Amino acid sequence: ELVASILIDLSEQRLYAYDTQQRLIYQAPVSTGKPATPTPAGHFQVTSRYPRTSMTGSDYHVPVVENVLCLGGPGLRPDSICLHPAPWQERAGLSFGVARSHGCVRTSTPTARWLFLRTPIGTHVTIRE
């Protein structure tokens, strides 16, 4: 079953995935942007899917991250905000459900894989406060 839309609730630090009938088919805790590097609210869509990619920012470089979905839409640079696993966060024993990222939406490794297998390009993603 494909994901038709995704809602990311910043105040709850949770992700909700819905099917074409708008039935909730999956939910999970996430870690979105810290206050200094917030995740933007708005209406976006999945514009890129990467089975494996590297992630680099001003103070980090992760050579291989799997099952990455990146968003496009108003005010977003291509591939600047993505839904991706954070195995480094898992290895450090840091829970999801707490804002910890540089703006991306971090998920557990199993959640990232579940989403990647079911979420096509063009899927609507709403990020709300």
Q: Encode the chain (129 residues) as per-residue pLDDT tens digits.
A: 899 999 999 999 999 999 999 999 999 999 999 999 999 999 999 999 999 999 988 888 999 999 999 999 999 999 999 999 999 999 999 999 999 999 999 999 999 999 999 999 999 999 999
**Among 99, 104, 38, which residue's Cα sits nearest to residue 68?**
104
For the entire predicted model, the pTM comes to 0.96
Contacts of 117 (CB under 8 A, 6+ apart): none
CB 107 within 8 A of CB 76: no
